[in-house]
Structure 1
Amino acid sequence: MLTPQQARQRLRRVSSHSIEIAESYDELLNDLLKEGLHFLDVDRISVWLVDHIDSPNQLNCIASSDFQNEQANSLEIHQYPTYFEQILLGHTIAANNVAQDNRTTELIIHNQNSSRALLDTVIYLNGKPHGVVSCESFAEHHIWTEDDIVYAESLADSCSRRLMALETLKLQNQLKEMVFVDTLTGLKNRRYFNERVQSAKNSQYRLQTPLSLIMIDLDHFKQINDEFGHEAGDIVLAKFAKNCQKQLRLEDVLCRYGGEEFIIILPYTAEQQAIQLAERLRLSIENMTIQHEQKIIKLTASFGVAEMGLEHTIEETIKKADIAVYRAKDAGRNCVIAN
């Protein structure tokens, strides 16, 4: 049996584990709730967060050790003024008898709690009450000790840190996504291409599968900008990207390489298959009708295809695809050339 101090030290170790984006809050907080159940010897622990931290109207259950049994999913603050006054002031509620404690009798009246003893501790975010960790006992005579209260407050702090870590991780992923996305077309950019093509090359070595690249250069794009304006040019780029994306597999990666240049990574694809795809894309682009300010803009593109042999480097294959594009331009544009 752990002493209260050992239990809190163990909780600190568990809460320090690195996290990943979780499928649910239950998954994110499950290990912490299990620790609390074990030490506090209670029947259920749940985590609740307010809907708006600056002007809360509702408290919503986001995780529970026992979601299978009947449990309210949300509490309207206006229905429980005494309870929420304590919570929003940051006070811990240790009710040995829920029905008789004036801070918790509202929960019984509104049939939102079947527990006999309740220990609710506040979760903070940036110094403001953000929610509660609610520990419930269904036993007839459950007396909360000072050690229980200290541990429950530590549990609330651990949940708070875990939730903040998740938000930080989400923000980092969003920032990373922004770094890798071309905002005009919504496609991945050249920086992402450089990382992704290396990953594709590593998979090729490991699985001994074919890998090809398609380089695409829009024909006479400067002329489109000069004749119709840069806003029209932006629309053309966005429409082109959307048209191509619809025709690719999930594993294919279309990136904006720079300006009016684009490149596609085609895993598990030999040169002949890549040529066939490039030809389908060429025809679909040729048949596009782009309207801007009651004017019709027609578009074509030149394609260079290169298969990346196991013995070839990424740089060699990109150069081959680039040379093939120049040959397509020299051949009159609007065609597919394989190198």
Structure 2
Amino acid sequence: MDKSKCLVDVDRYRIEPGTKVDLAKRPTACDVKIDRAKVENELFPKVIGKLQDYQEKLFAQNTYGFILALQAMDAAGKDGTVKHVFGPLNPAGVKVVSFKQPTSLEKDHDFLWRFNVNLPSRGEIGIFNRSQYEDVVTVRIHKLLKGSGMPPEFVNDGVWKQRYGDIAAWEKFLFHNGFPMVKVFLHVSRTEQQRRLAERILRDDKNWKFSMSDLTERLYWDDYQRDYSEAIEATSTKEAPWYVVPADDKWYTRYVVSLITLEALEAINPRFPEPNEETKQNILQMKKLLELAAESDSADLEKLKAHFGKGN
């Protein structure tokens, strides 16, 4: 990716391993000089075109899978980001999973089980709308480990640090098996979240999105900011980096996420697979026959039919 042409260096949002993270000091709105109209009408469509090309190669190669994990506060724009960035791709090669409260079946397994069984296959792009980080943030804030089925001796203050290690090891394991993961935190401001939540109440076409839990969760804003900061800081690695992306301006958020995804696919660098020697010979023979058919009369077409009829 030529960063001079995209006008945004997404590395500015990447959390390097060992970096101290304080979300209060991270931008929530577009923080670069860039023209919105240029992004929406020119730059973003170009990136989507490149993503479509890489997706086709990823699918054809069938060697790597890619996972994008989206985390955010309510109303930060996860669903819209998925729709606008990944909606234009071939749905046959995209797997989107939205994780909600765990079911009784999921609670009967380890906390990473439900994410494991929903991983993409080789050749697919997998989108986690919420992810394994629910289990070190939401679960922690609402003290949901008690009654979760966990053995009591493991429910203690040290469990969160242990889970950070488990998650980082799991993500590294996936990387070493050809399934790199990139994690994106859509960083919305408290003021913008309030505006969007009010919109869900006041606009009829947004009512379906409204939930009372959206309002009650705002009461825990400071707790979420603290725990997300800690989780991101503890688990951003070379193999599975975190990006804290401004989310107040939806057009900018979607552009940056598309660039992050493009950069990750470029790192994989999928290629169309080379045909084996037998297939190459068959293709060469078929090309000659097709050239002959294009230049000759119907008699040659009969030769072509006869040739295929022999099973060659």
Is the TM-score greater than 0.5?
Answer: no
Larger Rg: 1
Question: Which structure would you say has the larger RCO, counting Cα contacts within 8 Å and 6 or more residues apart?
Answer: 2
Instruction: Write 1 or 2 for the structure with the bigger share of strand.
Output: 1
Classify the TM-score, shorter chain: under 0.3
